[in-house]
Chains A and B, each alone.
Chain A
């Protein structure tokens, strides 16, 4: 009798915990959108305008949307080749002793607080870029892209490596036994077979990149303008919220929540695309 009771109670508990995790997520989403509604009502499509001057009641976030997307794309362009190379090295090429050193090192990178990445970017990278470009402080899309690339590198590397290692060893043996070189085996068998895992890794990295805030605020310059080159400053959606929420009221505050809502939709979109691609590949 009591055993059945414990069993039922445990079931209920797990159910409640599971539902509440989901509910919390829904509530956050509802809250963000509700707080953003006044801005949507008041501003309409001018919310997606190009001018952000809170003091003159201009709340257009298009520049920040572009800023976020451009920085993320740049970071991915830098990070994907590096991460793939690193994953292939760790999974296939590295002697086990080097692997035992390198893998924890890569994973350790995840644990470094993003403010530290931002600091290094600000102190080391930005001056270097200022020297090269000969303009401004070096706080720029390029600096942000590089810092972000380093930040998503461990995520993309370790998930790609996992999916490479998950390729059944028989495939590798089959290719080798036919006289494939190690590189041919990697290129023609391992990479195609691990493709869906690698795509998942890239999408997770993208999600991380788009959501990154602190390091971006520190190295991107934060001007709400369209960047006209990689040496130009810009502002991200996340940075916009972090910079201004402390002193915003009324429509300004609501516009920041609307920024959050747009960010939310963007991340959802990326994840859905990822899911669809992942499923299609798996078939």
Chain B
């Protein structure tokens, strides 16, 4: 299995507060990597360093390296826009734009200067199919995306990311605002998507991590306490703190 992303001794600070401590982790291609841990443990901060979304936070600071296919994305001269095209992101709250379903999915291509409507139609259909949403919305693509249910909105956001053809998809608790049925759909979708993409998901739901992921990392107080295959981590945790967390002793 090839390495896709590799972080080396990653430190991250919000002002004076250190949010990540020497995090070293390897994300493997075409695998689902889950990051778990209690609130405030740094898992979301870590996720957002992988496509430089933390850049927009004032007075934040990062030390260490994030290698995407061996290239440090924080090197001088690396185009952050290019990084984010390759590493897309799905957020905790579904955040479709207040535009039509079609416009949402076509957004990225239009931004890149694609105006040919036949090509756009194709991109929209392909992305919606990939996100398992096409059959539900194909008859009213002109409808406002805000009319969709929460689960549909989240799949629309996934379709919107897929339309840009990223290599990695970061998911920040994508199901925390969804009901169990919608959650199941997203989880099934992830299994399909990992054939073509590499997925990193942050979740506070340990059952979800156990169900969907191949590899799991446990964060606590900004540190990566333990990282390994999901089966190992949940059945034979090496660290006492991991065991305490997954057995529900805190969190």
Contacts and interface: CB of A to CB of B under 8 A. Distances in A.
Interface of A: 96, 168, 170-171, 173-181, 184, 188-189, 192-193
Contacts of A96: 58
Nearest to B56: A176
Residue from the set A96, A178, A181, A193 with the largest chain B CB neighbour count within 10 Å: A178
Instruction: Tell which of A170, A174, A184 has the most Cβ of chain B within 10 Å.
Output: A174
Contacts of B42: none
Interface stretch (B90-98, B197-205, B219-227, B235-243): B90-98
Contacts of B108: 178-180
Contact of B88 (A170, A171, A178, A189): A178
Contacts of B89: 173, 177
A180 B97 CA distance: 14
A32 to B, nearest CB: 42
B95 A173 contact: yes
Contact of A174 (B56, B82, B83, B157): B157
Interface in B58-80: 58
Nearest to B84: A179
15 contacts: A168-B95, A171-B95, A174-B91, A174-B160, A175-B107, A175-B111, A176-B53, A176-B84, A177-B53, A178-B85, A179-B81, A179-B83, A180-B108, A180-B111, A192-B99
A27 to B, nearest CB: 42
Contact of A177 (B82, B88, B110): B88
B148 to A, nearest CB: 15
B102 to A, nearest CB: 15
A194 to B, nearest CB: 11
B161 interface: yes
B8 to A, nearest CB: 23
B51 interface: yes
B164 interface: yes
Given A171-B98, A174-B160, A188-B111, 13 more contacts: A170-B93, A173-B91, A174-B96, A174-B97, A175-B97, A177-B51, A177-B161, A178-B84, A179-B83, A179-B111, A179-B164, A180-B108, A188-B110
A178 B98 contact: no
B104 to A, nearest CB: 9
Q: Which of A96, A176, A188: most chain B Cβ within 10 A?
A: A176
A179 B98 contact: no
A178 B107 contact: yes
Contacts of A176: 53, 56, 84
A174 B58 CA distance: 18
* Residue with the greatest number of chain B CB neighbours at <10 A, chosen from A96, A173, A177, A188: A177
Nearest to B89: A177
A178 B95 contact: no
Contact of B160 (A170, A178, A181): A178
A188 B83 CA distance: 20
Contact of B81 (A171, A180, A189): A180
Contacts of B157: 174
A171 B91 contact: no
A115 B68 CA distance: 62
Interface in B160-216: 160-161, 164
A173 B93 CA distance: 11
Contacts of A180: 81, 108, 111
B23 to A, nearest CB: 21
Contacts of A193: 97-98
A189 B161 contact: no
Given A178-B111, A178-B164, A193-B97, A173 B81 contact: no
Contacts of B84: 176-179
A174 B89 CA distance: 8
Given A179-B81, A179-B82, A180-B81, A173 B53 contact: yes
A171 B51 CA distance: 17
A184 B113 CA distance: 11
Contacts of A170: 91, 93, 95
A147 to B, nearest CB: 38
Given A178-B108, A178-B160, A179-B84, A189 B97 contact: yes
A27 B98 CA distance: 43
Contacts of A168: 95
| Residue among B56, B97, B157 with max Cβ neighbours from chain A (10 Å) | B97
B161 A171 contact: no
A179 B111 CA distance: 9
Nearest to A189: B97
Contacts of B160: 174, 178
Contacts of A184: 111
